[in-house]
Amino acid sequence: MAGELEGRVALVTGAGRGIGAAIARGYAERGALVVGTARSEDQLRELAATAPERISTATADLRDEASLAGLVDQVVERHGRIDILVNNAGVAPAADFTTEPVEQWRATLAVNVVAPMALAQAAGRHFIAQGGGKIINVASTTGLRGKPGLVGYSTSKGAVMRFTESLAAEWARHNIQVNCIAPGAFATDAQSAVLESPDLLNRRVRRIPAKRMGDVSELVPLACLLAAPGSDFITGSIFVIDGGESGKL
């Protein structure tokens, strides 16, 4: 619904492409002022060009813990407040666990778990002071069920789900809602190897009851609901969007 986020200020990580870019654009279309972050300046320029009056950007490396609180401060300095935090950025390095280096696990956890924690903590201080706020964490169905070759990623996304539930319980009294979206197979750059191979794509789609991969636009309505006043009594929930894949026997 146009205008449902009018006057709200959102920070969206991993906004340069895919799910993050779709959510950032969706929020802007519904009236929010959005600060999108990513490491790629080119991608951010493309994002801002879609709605320059409502979308601004900030380059950020979420592995740099020292800069995370400052990122939230940038949003508040720019717009006077922050109402919505979307922790979308993530990395998913594939590896044989037998030889996967500990350093790669640390890097995965830094982006997928530590950064959402630090950003939520920084944003939460503002939320508590202003009487409420929204946090939407983007996980994955691999956080529900492990996936071979992605042990570190699956572990990190499972942690994001428990983080969502625990923080929601702790901060509900402050009128802060914390929820999680767990996408399944979506047609994004991260799935390029599958999308570019008819054989791999066919095998992937056969496992999905809906018989197709999702489009990132299909995540936007839920992300908007969870950011809007209509979801003020929804917190600590994990919303799976996967065409029925994780629900089948």
Q: Which residues are catalytic?
A: 153
Answer whether 120's CB lies under 8 Å from 45's CB: no
User: Residue 128 and residue 140: Cα distance in Å, rounded?
Assistant: 28
Amino acid identity of 214? G
> Residue 12's closest CA among 46, 43, 56, 52?
56
Contacts of 78 (CB under 8 A, 6+ apart): 35, 56
Written as six digits, the tokens of 219 are 């995540």
Neighbour count for residue 7 (Cβ, 10 Å): 10
Listing from the earlier edge strand, what are the strands of the sheet with 55-59? 55-59, 33-38, 9-12, 84-87, 133-138, 176-183, 238-241
